[in-house]
Amino acid sequence: MRLSTLRLRYAALAPARIIGCTRVCPVARPTIVPHATKNNNVRSFVSSLAQRSSKIDNVHDENTASSPIFPKALDAALGTQLQPSDMLSYLNSEDFCVYRSTSDPSQPLFGKEERLVSNALTHESWMHGLQGHNRRLSFIGRRALKMYLTLFLFDVFEHANRINAQAPDLKYLQTVLSSQQDIDDILATHHLGDHVGRKLGLEKVMRWHPTTRVDPKNGTRESGLFKVRGTCVEAIMGAIYHFRGALVAQQFFLSRILPILADSYMSQAPRMVKEKVTEASRDAAEALTQSA
Protein backbone atom coordinates (compact mmCIF):
# COMPACT_ATOMS: atom_id res chain seq x y z
CA MET A 1 0.00 0.00 0.00
CA ARG A 2 1.30 3.39 -0.90
CA LEU A 3 2.46 5.74 1.79
CA SER A 4 0.11 8.52 0.64
CA THR A 5 -2.91 6.21 0.95
CA LEU A 6 -1.94 5.30 4.53
CA ARG A 7 -1.60 8.95 5.43
CA LEU A 8 -5.10 9.73 4.15
CA ARG A 9 -6.65 6.83 6.11
CA TYR A 10 -4.83 7.88 9.25
CA ALA A 11 -5.97 11.48 8.84
CA ALA A 12 -9.61 10.39 8.49
CA LEU A 13 -9.44 8.51 11.81
CA ALA A 14 -7.48 11.16 13.68
CA PRO A 15 -9.41 13.38 16.13
CA ALA A 16 -9.96 17.03 15.36
CA ARG A 17 -7.46 19.45 16.77
CA ILE A 18 -8.63 22.38 18.88
CA ILE A 19 -7.21 25.76 17.96
CA GLY A 20 -8.47 28.47 20.28
CA CYS A 21 -12.25 27.88 20.42
CA THR A 22 -12.51 26.24 16.97
CA ARG A 23 -12.28 22.54 16.20
CA VAL A 24 -10.27 21.99 13.02
CA CYS A 25 -10.37 18.70 11.13
CA PRO A 26 -6.93 17.82 9.73
CA VAL A 27 -8.37 16.91 6.31
CA ALA A 28 -10.70 19.89 6.03
CA ARG A 29 -9.71 22.62 3.67
CA PRO A 30 -9.45 26.00 5.34
CA THR A 31 -11.92 28.65 4.24
CA ILE A 32 -10.24 31.59 2.62
CA VAL A 33 -11.37 34.78 4.37
CA PRO A 34 -10.61 38.02 2.57
CA HIS A 35 -8.34 40.39 4.38
CA ALA A 36 -10.36 42.85 6.46
CA THR A 37 -9.49 46.17 4.94
CA LYS A 38 -11.15 49.53 5.26
CA ASN A 39 -12.72 49.21 1.81
CA ASN A 40 -14.13 45.77 2.61
CA ASN A 41 -15.65 47.08 5.84
CA VAL A 42 -17.27 49.98 4.01
CA ARG A 43 -18.69 47.68 1.34
CA SER A 44 -20.08 45.34 4.00
CA PHE A 45 -21.67 48.23 5.90
CA VAL A 46 -23.27 49.71 2.78
CA SER A 47 -24.58 46.29 1.76
CA SER A 48 -26.19 45.75 5.18
CA LEU A 49 -27.83 49.18 5.02
CA ALA A 50 -29.25 48.40 1.60
CA GLN A 51 -30.71 45.12 2.85
CA ARG A 52 -32.30 46.83 5.86
CA SER A 53 -33.72 49.58 3.67
CA SER A 54 -35.31 47.06 1.33
CA LYS A 55 -36.89 45.26 4.30
CA ILE A 56 -38.32 48.52 5.67
CA ASP A 57 -39.69 49.45 2.25
CA ASN A 58 -41.38 46.06 1.99
CA VAL A 59 -42.98 46.46 5.42
CA HIS A 60 -44.13 49.99 4.57
CA ASP A 61 -45.65 48.78 1.32
CA GLU A 62 -47.54 46.04 3.16
CA ASN A 63 -48.85 48.52 5.75
CA THR A 64 -49.83 50.98 3.06
CA ALA A 65 -51.87 48.32 1.31
CA SER A 66 -53.72 47.01 4.36
CA SER A 67 -53.78 49.61 7.14
CA PRO A 68 -56.63 52.15 7.37
CA ILE A 69 -54.08 54.72 8.50
CA PHE A 70 -52.45 54.60 5.05
CA PRO A 71 -55.32 54.45 2.55
CA LYS A 72 -54.63 53.72 -1.08
CA ALA A 73 -56.52 56.83 -2.15
CA LEU A 74 -57.15 60.15 -0.49
CA ASP A 75 -60.77 60.38 -1.64
CA ALA A 76 -61.97 60.22 1.99
CA ALA A 77 -59.60 62.93 3.23
CA LEU A 78 -61.46 65.92 4.67
CA GLY A 79 -60.27 69.47 4.20
CA THR A 80 -58.47 68.92 0.91
CA GLN A 81 -59.99 72.13 -0.50
CA LEU A 82 -58.90 74.22 2.47
CA GLN A 83 -56.08 76.68 2.01
CA PRO A 84 -53.87 77.95 4.86
CA SER A 85 -55.34 81.40 4.26
CA ASP A 86 -58.84 80.01 4.96
CA MET A 87 -57.69 78.51 8.26
CA LEU A 88 -55.93 81.70 9.30
CA SER A 89 -58.93 83.82 8.41
CA TYR A 90 -61.22 81.70 10.60
CA LEU A 91 -58.96 81.70 13.69
CA ASN A 92 -58.44 85.46 13.32
CA SER A 93 -62.19 86.12 13.09
CA GLU A 94 -64.20 87.53 15.98
CA ASP A 95 -66.47 84.49 15.83
CA PHE A 96 -63.53 82.44 17.07
CA CYS A 97 -61.95 84.89 19.51
CA VAL A 98 -62.12 88.65 20.05
CA TYR A 99 -58.53 89.83 20.39
CA ARG A 100 -57.15 93.37 20.34
CA SER A 101 -53.56 94.41 20.83
CA THR A 102 -53.01 97.85 22.34
CA SER A 103 -49.66 98.16 20.57
CA ASP A 104 -51.13 97.22 17.17
CA PRO A 105 -54.96 97.24 17.10
CA SER A 106 -55.02 95.90 13.54
CA GLN A 107 -53.05 92.79 14.52
CA PRO A 108 -55.39 89.76 14.94
CA LEU A 109 -54.80 86.80 17.25
CA PHE A 110 -52.53 84.84 14.91
CA GLY A 111 -51.30 87.73 12.79
CA LYS A 112 -50.08 86.42 9.44
CA GLU A 113 -48.88 83.05 10.73
CA GLU A 114 -50.44 80.88 8.02
CA ARG A 115 -47.98 78.03 8.48
CA LEU A 116 -48.44 77.91 12.26
CA VAL A 117 -52.22 77.83 11.95
CA SER A 118 -52.08 75.30 9.11
CA ASN A 119 -50.00 72.94 11.24
CA ALA A 120 -52.28 73.43 14.26
CA LEU A 121 -55.37 72.43 12.28
CA THR A 122 -53.81 69.55 10.31
CA HIS A 123 -53.94 66.09 11.87
CA GLU A 124 -51.11 63.70 11.12
CA SER A 125 -53.56 61.35 9.37
CA TRP A 126 -53.95 63.88 6.54
CA MET A 127 -51.61 63.17 3.61
CA HIS A 128 -49.68 60.82 5.92
CA GLY A 129 -48.35 63.89 7.75
CA LEU A 130 -46.10 64.81 4.83
CA GLN A 131 -47.22 68.45 4.74
CA GLY A 132 -46.95 69.24 8.43
CA HIS A 133 -49.19 68.25 11.33
CA ASN A 134 -50.11 69.27 14.86
CA ARG A 135 -48.47 66.62 17.03
CA ARG A 136 -45.84 68.91 18.56
CA LEU A 137 -48.22 71.81 19.10
CA SER A 138 -50.78 69.52 20.75
CA PHE A 139 -48.04 68.21 23.06
CA ILE A 140 -47.40 71.77 24.27
CA GLY A 141 -51.10 72.59 24.40
CA ARG A 142 -52.00 69.59 26.58
CA ARG A 143 -49.54 70.68 29.24
CA ALA A 144 -50.69 74.28 29.05
CA LEU A 145 -54.31 73.21 29.51
CA LYS A 146 -53.47 71.14 32.59
CA MET A 147 -51.43 73.98 34.07
CA TYR A 148 -54.14 76.61 33.56
CA LEU A 149 -56.95 74.43 34.91
CA THR A 150 -54.88 73.54 37.98
CA LEU A 151 -53.98 77.19 38.61
CA PHE A 152 -57.63 78.20 38.33
CA LEU A 153 -58.75 75.55 40.82
CA PHE A 154 -55.98 76.53 43.26
CA ASP A 155 -57.10 80.17 43.08
CA VAL A 156 -60.67 79.12 43.81
CA PHE A 157 -59.48 76.92 46.68
CA GLU A 158 -57.56 79.81 48.26
CA HIS A 159 -60.59 82.05 47.86
CA ALA A 160 -62.78 79.40 49.51
CA ASN A 161 -60.41 79.24 52.49
CA ARG A 162 -60.38 83.03 52.86
CA ILE A 163 -64.15 83.31 52.99
CA ASN A 164 -64.59 80.15 55.12
CA ALA A 165 -66.61 78.41 52.44
CA GLN A 166 -68.90 75.53 53.22
CA ALA A 167 -67.50 72.03 53.63
CA PRO A 168 -68.92 70.62 50.34
CA ASP A 169 -67.17 73.37 48.36
CA LEU A 170 -63.82 72.69 49.99
CA LYS A 171 -64.23 68.94 49.69
CA TYR A 172 -64.86 69.12 45.93
CA LEU A 173 -61.78 71.28 45.36
CA GLN A 174 -59.59 69.12 47.59
CA THR A 175 -60.71 65.97 45.79
CA VAL A 176 -59.99 67.34 42.31
CA LEU A 177 -56.66 68.92 43.23
CA SER A 178 -55.39 65.88 45.11
CA SER A 179 -55.80 63.58 42.10
CA GLN A 180 -54.05 64.21 38.80
CA GLN A 181 -56.41 61.68 37.25
CA ASP A 182 -59.38 63.99 37.82
CA ILE A 183 -57.63 66.80 35.93
CA ASP A 184 -56.73 64.38 33.14
CA ASP A 185 -60.33 63.17 32.90
CA ILE A 186 -61.71 66.69 32.56
CA LEU A 187 -59.15 67.52 29.85
CA ALA A 188 -59.27 64.18 28.02
CA THR A 189 -58.67 64.68 24.31
CA HIS A 190 -62.01 63.17 23.24
CA HIS A 191 -63.81 65.39 25.79
CA LEU A 192 -62.16 68.45 24.26
CA GLY A 193 -63.22 67.28 20.82
CA ASP A 194 -66.76 66.38 21.80
CA HIS A 195 -67.73 69.74 23.29
CA VAL A 196 -64.98 72.38 23.09
CA GLY A 197 -63.97 71.64 19.50
CA ARG A 198 -67.60 71.50 18.39
CA LYS A 199 -68.42 74.84 20.05
CA LEU A 200 -65.38 76.40 18.39
CA GLY A 201 -66.44 74.99 15.01
CA LEU A 202 -63.07 73.43 14.26
CA GLU A 203 -64.45 70.74 11.95
CA LYS A 204 -64.98 73.46 9.33
CA VAL A 205 -61.25 74.20 9.09
CA MET A 206 -59.62 70.88 10.02
CA ARG A 207 -57.63 68.74 7.63
CA TRP A 208 -57.74 65.07 8.55
CA HIS A 209 -58.51 61.57 7.32
CA PRO A 210 -61.29 59.61 9.04
CA THR A 211 -60.43 56.13 10.25
CA THR A 212 -63.67 54.17 10.38
CA ARG A 213 -63.86 51.54 13.11
CA VAL A 214 -66.81 49.32 13.98
CA ASP A 215 -67.56 48.58 17.62
CA PRO A 216 -68.06 44.78 17.83
CA LYS A 217 -70.44 45.16 20.79
CA ASN A 218 -73.10 47.44 19.34
CA GLY A 219 -72.06 47.78 15.71
CA THR A 220 -71.64 51.56 15.87
CA ARG A 221 -69.11 53.21 13.61
CA GLU A 222 -66.47 55.67 14.75
CA SER A 223 -64.64 58.07 12.48
CA GLY A 224 -62.24 59.45 15.08
CA LEU A 225 -63.79 62.92 14.86
CA PHE A 226 -63.77 63.65 18.61
CA LYS A 227 -60.15 62.56 18.97
CA VAL A 228 -58.96 64.58 15.97
CA ARG A 229 -60.99 67.64 16.94
CA GLY A 230 -59.70 67.43 20.51
CA THR A 231 -56.13 67.24 19.23
CA CYS A 232 -56.77 70.42 17.25
CA VAL A 233 -58.02 72.16 20.42
CA GLU A 234 -54.78 71.20 22.16
CA ALA A 235 -52.72 72.30 19.17
CA ILE A 236 -54.44 75.70 19.03
CA MET A 237 -53.57 76.20 22.70
CA GLY A 238 -49.99 75.26 21.89
CA ALA A 239 -49.93 77.65 18.93
CA ILE A 240 -51.22 80.58 21.02
CA TYR A 241 -48.72 79.76 23.75
CA HIS A 242 -45.93 79.67 21.16
CA PHE A 243 -46.94 82.82 19.25
CA ARG A 244 -48.53 85.09 21.87
CA GLY A 245 -47.07 83.81 25.11
CA ALA A 246 -48.34 82.23 28.31
CA LEU A 247 -50.56 85.13 29.43
CA VAL A 248 -52.63 85.33 26.25
CA ALA A 249 -52.88 81.53 26.17
CA GLN A 250 -54.22 81.55 29.73
CA GLN A 251 -56.74 84.27 28.88
CA PHE A 252 -57.91 82.27 25.86
CA PHE A 253 -58.34 79.18 28.06
CA LEU A 254 -60.33 81.04 30.71
CA SER A 255 -62.57 82.86 28.23
CA ARG A 256 -63.18 80.23 25.54
CA ILE A 257 -62.47 76.76 26.94
CA LEU A 258 -63.09 76.73 30.69
CA PRO A 259 -66.82 77.70 30.51
CA ILE A 260 -67.49 74.84 28.08
CA LEU A 261 -65.63 72.37 30.30
CA ALA A 262 -67.55 73.58 33.36
CA ASP A 263 -70.90 73.04 31.65
CA SER A 264 -69.97 69.63 30.25
CA TYR A 265 -67.61 67.87 32.65
CA MET A 266 -67.75 69.79 35.93
CA SER A 267 -71.45 69.34 36.59
CA GLN A 268 -70.73 68.17 40.16
CA ALA A 269 -68.88 71.38 40.97
CA PRO A 270 -70.49 73.49 43.70
CA ARG A 271 -72.15 76.80 42.94
CA MET A 272 -69.18 78.82 44.15
CA VAL A 273 -66.88 77.16 41.59
CA LYS A 274 -69.31 77.83 38.74
CA GLU A 275 -69.61 81.46 39.78
CA LYS A 276 -65.82 81.74 39.72
CA VAL A 277 -65.76 80.22 36.23
CA THR A 278 -68.17 82.90 35.00
CA GLU A 279 -66.16 85.66 36.66
CA ALA A 280 -62.81 84.43 35.34
CA SER A 281 -64.21 84.00 31.84
CA ARG A 282 -65.58 87.54 31.79
CA ASP A 283 -62.34 89.08 33.06
CA ALA A 284 -60.21 87.08 30.61
CA ALA A 285 -62.39 88.04 27.63
CA GLU A 286 -62.02 91.70 28.56
CA ALA A 287 -58.26 91.31 28.96
CA LEU A 288 -57.98 89.81 25.47
CA THR A 289 -59.44 92.99 24.00
CA GLN A 290 -56.75 95.05 25.75
CA SER A 291 -53.72 92.83 25.29
CA ALA A 292 -50.29 94.42 25.34
Residue 167, phi then psi, degrees to nearest 5: -60, -45
DSSP letters along 232-287, please?
A: HHHHHHHHHHHHH-HHHHHHHIIIIIHHHHHHHH-TTS-HHHHHHHHHHHHHHHHH
Could you tell me if 177 and 154 are in contact, meaning their C-beta atoms sit under 8 angstroms apart?
A: yes
Rg of the chain over all Cα atoms, to the nearest angstrom: 32
- 156/115 same-domain check: yes
- 154/261 same-domain check: yes
* Final residue before a domain boundary, out of 21, 40, 64: 64
User: How many whole angstroms separate alpha carbon 255 and alpha carbon 152?
Assistant: 12
- 46/134 same-domain check: no
CATH of the domain at 108: 1.10.1520.10
- 54/111 same-domain check: no
DSSP E strands in the chain: the ranges are 17-19, 22-24, 213-214, 221-222
* Final residue before a domain boundary, out of 64, 84, 99: 64
Note if the pTM is more than 0.85: no
DSSP secondary structure letter of residue 125: T
One digit per residue, pLDDT tens: the chain, 292 residues? 554 554 545 444 454 444 444 444 444 444 444 454 545 554 554 455 445 444 434 433 333 333 333 333 444 667 778 899 999 999 999 999 999 998 888 899 999 999 999 999 999 886 666 677 899 999 999 999 999 999 999 999 999 999 888 888 899 999 999 989 999 999 999 999 999 999 999 999 998 887 766 666 765 556 688 999 999 999 999 999 999 999 999 999 999 999 999 999 888 888 999 999 999 999 999 999 998 7
